[in-house]
């Protein structure tokens, strides 16, 4: 059956009091077939391929099976097809040996650097390819980051959809250029881990997964937005999510799959289920699901919602074979487009790492074992780790360091890990993660198996040895908070580093936004003695910083999740080898309670419910998440979205705005033209350009990130329009005294809102405010223009 209309009810009130009935998910059928738009030659190959297959072989092509990889499609030797190998994940080929562990998506976003994000994708994918993996399960744009408590926010980029969209497209371009398919995930509304899957409660009733109930405008302007970038960038695959949407499961929701994704965005590739997110066969297929992973259900390797059920359903007339052919074409078109019919063999060590369902039903060709795919990627990882580090405070230019005579190092995040180099399994499932050791990346399927790890303490010691500095340390947080503990460090160091960490992992949400392991007490204890205390956070998401205004805390760096070169990345910044240029991809509020506008749905009642449909998450804040919320309610924050200091200073001048096409020709609606991947192509047409000049006014070279925010008109009878939305940014490196003009193209989509009645992107009449600055609250230049006149 279709999980339609499972609930409906009273009207809920959104932020501004607009009544919102979240309703049900409307049926959208049939599933639109791919035409291989943009992949014409490969589409013809895929068509020929399908025409040679038996029905049983077609069923095999759409159903995961036992094999050496995290996800496997069995080979068909008769037609020379060797199968498809899918591997986690978004920051590394997760479980492989002799592979690099890159910076997390969060760090990539904090760099605001298109080039570095592209290179990260390119190099990471080279490692997938070297290991014979056709599909990388990433990048992540869902969760977007509705709640800072979300356990997987760090796997993705930023709660801002524009920044996330840019990061996703750069990653996809980079990865697919290396010949690897991306699987953009998790589609859609996967904003919490708590009750992400159905479970059996105390009463033997299946309690359904949480339902993300999102109004149509918010869906388009926030959560769907980066997926549009990804589809336009040509992602081979989209992974549907565990949660429900308006009561209907993400992998069998015809509105989101057939409607939004395959019709409106013109997606030409295949939809793969998240692992065990398939809950039906024919109904999921007709709703738009193309591939079932990992395949087997109920502990039997021969049983699947797809597989034999697909063959039976076609034979008994409940499933149209044309749809099955479309599924195979959707899978094989990007495969041929990326020339994966000639591909390195799967690393021979993989079966050791993936022994979940032996023996295999189909043959897989394995190559040499433990192939070293790391190349010289470490240098680029080190660079991005530094570029994604945000300098938040720097009293009296305490940084960069010269050659301090004495250095103190504190915090359990400074030293080496003691529970292993692969953050998966038992010690990593506690709310705070492991106690001793730095946090280079977080846990779950989005982690990576480190081949080595440069810790902050290692790198500080190496640097101090060059300068003749003394380095003394206490890495036990409990000890550090005890009276008198710092006496062993005498004399008081010239500079004290405190390294803090915040753990998160797939499967559970964060319980606190403060750094873990008594972090506040540790900072306060060190700062009570040391009047030059520098705090560095390694964090799977945002942190509140109750100690930020302590006058002895002279510098703060949010170092996010830098990957395997962590220590080198931070030392490069601390000593000024790299001038910091990261900017916050989220807001740091004053208090943890300030984030209550979009809580994770959870309660003791829900945990004990016997109502299968009890888990409802109404996204009543609508468009007002992160800085959109704080700006709308004029709320003070500690460090705003887009903020980050440098060792130099920048100024900005001469804002210029020009229409890119004759303004009289701009209609409020996009032209009705054929849809291509990414949607209506006229949405991507540049209608205006904005120009500013940035000058480095300090005395060292550095990179600046000028940011364009638009104040779009309010819309009657709609959820509130945010006061300011990011619609342009660039990262430019300038020598002291150097100036550069920076251009920002504004597309039709950038200037439009989603009109729920017209079911179209519309440019509202009225004034568009243009605010350009160095953060969302450091606006230097303001102007306005009118695209569409009133009336």
Ligand X SMILES: *[C@@H]1O[C@H](CO)[C@@H](O)[C@H](O)[C@H]1NC(C)=O
DSSP per-residue letters across 618-649? E-TTTT--THHHHHHTT--EEE-TT--B-SS-
Applying CB under 6 A, the residues found at the interface with ligand X are 9-12, 21-23, 25, 48-49, 52, 79, 194, 202-204, 213, 215-216, 245-246, 255-256, 281, 297-298, 303-305, 307-309, 312-313, 316, 318, 395-396, 476-479, 481, 509, 511, 517-518, 521, 527-529, 531, 550-552, 554, 600, 602, 604, 607, 616, 618, 656-658, 689-691, 741, 743
> Whole-angstrom Cα distance, residue 274 to residue 280?
13
In this complex, which beta carbon is closest to ligand X, that of residue 602 or of residue 733? 602
> Whole-angstrom Cα distance, residue 541 to residue 174?
24
Nearest approach, Cβ of residue 574 and ligand X (Å)? 18
Nearest approach, Cβ of residue 353 and ligand X (Å)? 26
In this complex, which beta carbon is closest to ligand X, that of residue 204 or of residue 634? 204
Nearest approach, Cβ of residue 658 and ligand X (Å)? 4
Could you give the 3-state DSSP secondary structure of residue 733? strand
DSSP state of 210: P
In this complex, which beta carbon is closest to ligand X, that of residue 564 or of residue 718? 718
Q: E strands, 631-706, where?
A: 637-639, 650-659, 686-696, 702-704
Angle between helices 40-51 and 321-337 (to 10 degrees): 130
Give phi and psi for 215, each to the nearest 5. -70, 160
In this complex, which beta carbon is closest to ligand X, that of residue 250 or of residue 385? 250
Nearest approach, Cβ of residue 49 and ligand X (Å)? 4
Give phi and psi for 282, each to the nearest 5. -55, -40
Beta-bridged to residue 239, according to DSSP, are: 185, 272
Nearest approach, Cβ of residue 521 and ligand X (Å)? 6
DSSP per-residue letters across 347-394? PTTHHHH--SSPSPSS---B--SS----TTHHHHHHHHHHHT-EEEEE
Nearest approach, Cβ of residue 178 and ligand X (Å)? 25
Residues making up the chain, counted from first to last = 791
Give CA 337 to chain center in angstroms: 25
Nearest approach, Cβ of residue 673 and ligand X (Å)? 24
Give phi and psi for 384, each to the nearest 5. -70, -35
Query: Is the dihedral angle over the CA atoms 651, 653, 656, 657 positive or is it negative?
Result: positive
Closest by alpha carbon to 564, among 741, 421, 776?
A: 421
Give the active site residue among 215, 274, 458, 631.
274
Query: Is the dihedral angle over the CA atoms 154, 156, 158, 163 positive or is it negative?
Result: positive
In this complex, which beta carbon is closest to ligand X, that of residue 667 or of residue 759? 759
In this complex, which beta carbon is closest to ligand X, that of residue 182 or of residue 194? 194
DSSP per-residue letters across 253-319? -HIIIIIIIIIIS---SEEEE-TT----SHHHHHHT--BBSS--BTTBTT--SSTHHHHHHHHTTSS
Nearest approach, Cβ of residue 2 and ligand X (Å)? 12
The question of whether 274 is a catalytic residue gets the answer yes
Helices (H), 468-539: 477-480, 519-529
**Catalytic annotation, residues:** 274
């Amino acid at each position: 059956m279709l999980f339609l209309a499972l609930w409906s009810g009273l009207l809920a009130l959104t932020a501004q009091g607009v009544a919102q009935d979240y309703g049900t998910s409307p049926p959208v059928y049939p599933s639109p077939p791919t035409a291989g738009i943009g992949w014409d030659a490969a589409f013809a190959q895929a068509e020929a391929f399908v025409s040679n297959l038996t029905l049983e072989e077609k069923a095999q092509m759409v159903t995961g099976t036992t094999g050496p990889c995290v996800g496997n499609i069995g080979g068909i030797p008769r037609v020379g097809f060797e199968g498809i190998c899918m591997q986690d994940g978004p920051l590394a080929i997760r479980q492989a040996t002799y592979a690099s562990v890159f910076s997390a998506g969060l760090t990539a976003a904090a760099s605001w650097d298109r080039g570095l994000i592209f290179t990260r994708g390119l190099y990471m994918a080279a490692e997938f390819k070297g290991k014979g993996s056709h599909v990388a399960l990433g990048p992540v744009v869902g969760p977007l980051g509705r709640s800072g408590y979300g356990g997987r926010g760090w796997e993705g980029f930023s709660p801002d959809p524009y920044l996330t969209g840019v990061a996703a497209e750069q990653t996809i371009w980079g990865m697919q250029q290396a010949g690897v398919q991306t699987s953009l995930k998790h589609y859609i509304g996967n904003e919490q881990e708590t009750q992400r899957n159905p479970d059996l409660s105390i009463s033997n009733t299946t309690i359904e997964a949480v339902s993300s109930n999102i109004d149509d405008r918010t869906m388009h302007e926030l959560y769907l937005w980066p997926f549009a970038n990804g589809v336009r960038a040509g992602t081979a695959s989209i992974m549907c999510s565990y949660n429900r949407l308006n009561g209907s499961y993400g992998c069998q929701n015809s509105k989101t799959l057939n409607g939004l994704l395959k019709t409106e965005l013109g997606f030409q590739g295949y939809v793969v289920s998240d692992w065990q997110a398939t809950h039906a066969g024919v109904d999921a297929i007709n709703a738009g699901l193309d591939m079932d992973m990992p395949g087997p259900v109920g502990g039997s390797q021969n049983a699947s919602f797809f597989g034999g059920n697909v063959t039976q359903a076609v034979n008994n007339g409940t499933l149209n074979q044309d749809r099955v052919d479309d599924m195979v074409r959707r899978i094989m078109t990007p495969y041929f487009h990326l020339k994966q019919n000639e591909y390195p063999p799967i690393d021979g060590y993989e079966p050791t790492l993936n022994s979940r369902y032996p023996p295999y039903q189909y043959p897989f060709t394995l190559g040499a074992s433990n192939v070293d795919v790391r190349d010289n990627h470490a240098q680029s990882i080190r660079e991005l780790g530094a570029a994604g580090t945000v300098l938040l405070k720097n009293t009296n230019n305490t940084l960069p360091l010269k050659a301090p005579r004495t250095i103190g190092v504190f915090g359990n995040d400074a030293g080496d890990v003691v529970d292993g180099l692969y953050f998966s399994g038992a010690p990593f499932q506690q709310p705070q993660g492991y106690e001793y050791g730095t946090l280079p990346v977080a846990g779950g399927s989005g982690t990576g198996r480190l081949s080595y790890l440069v810790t902050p303490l290692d790198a500080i010691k190496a640097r101090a040895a060059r300068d003749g500095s003394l380095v003394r340390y206490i890495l036990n947080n409990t000890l550090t908070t005890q009276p008198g503990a710092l006496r062993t460090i005498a004399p008081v160091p010239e500079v004290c580093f405190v390294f803090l960490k915040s753990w998160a992992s797939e499967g559970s949400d964060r319980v606190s936004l403060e750094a873990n392991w008594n972090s506040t007490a540790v900072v306060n204890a060190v700062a009570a003695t040391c009047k030059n205390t520098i705090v560095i956070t390694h964090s799977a998401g945002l942190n509140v910083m109750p100690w930020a205004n302590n006058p002895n805390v002279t510098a703060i760096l949010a170092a996010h999740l830098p990957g395997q070169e962590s220590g080198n990345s931070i030392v490069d910044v601390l000593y000024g080898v790299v001038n910091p240029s990261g900017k916050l991809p989220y807001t740091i509020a004053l208090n943890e309670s300030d984030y209550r506008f979009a809580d994770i749905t959870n309660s003791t009642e829900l945990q004990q419910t016997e109502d299968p449909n009890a888990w409802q998450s109404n996204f009543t804040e609508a468009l007002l998440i992160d800085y959109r919320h704080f700006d709308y309610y004029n709320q003070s924050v500690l460090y705003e979205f887009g903020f980050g200091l440098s060792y130099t200073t920048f100024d900005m001048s001469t804002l210029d705005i020009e229409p890119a096409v004759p303004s009289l020709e701009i209609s409020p609606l996009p032209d009705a033209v054929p849809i291509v991947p990414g949607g209506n192509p006229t949405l991507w047409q540049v209608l205006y350009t904005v120009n500013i000049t940035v000058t480095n006014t300090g005395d060292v070279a550095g990179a600046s990130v000028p940011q364009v925010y638009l104040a779009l008109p309010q819309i009657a009878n709609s959820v509130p329009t945010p006061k300011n939305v990011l619609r342009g940014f660039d990262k430019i490196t300038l020598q002291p005294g150097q100036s550069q003009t920076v251009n920002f193209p504004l597309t039709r989509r950038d200037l439009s809102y989603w009109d729920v009645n017209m079911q179209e992107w519309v440019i509202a009449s009225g004034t568009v405010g243009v605010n350009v600055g160095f953060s969302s609250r450091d606006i230097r230049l303001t102007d306005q223009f009118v695209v569409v006149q009133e009336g």
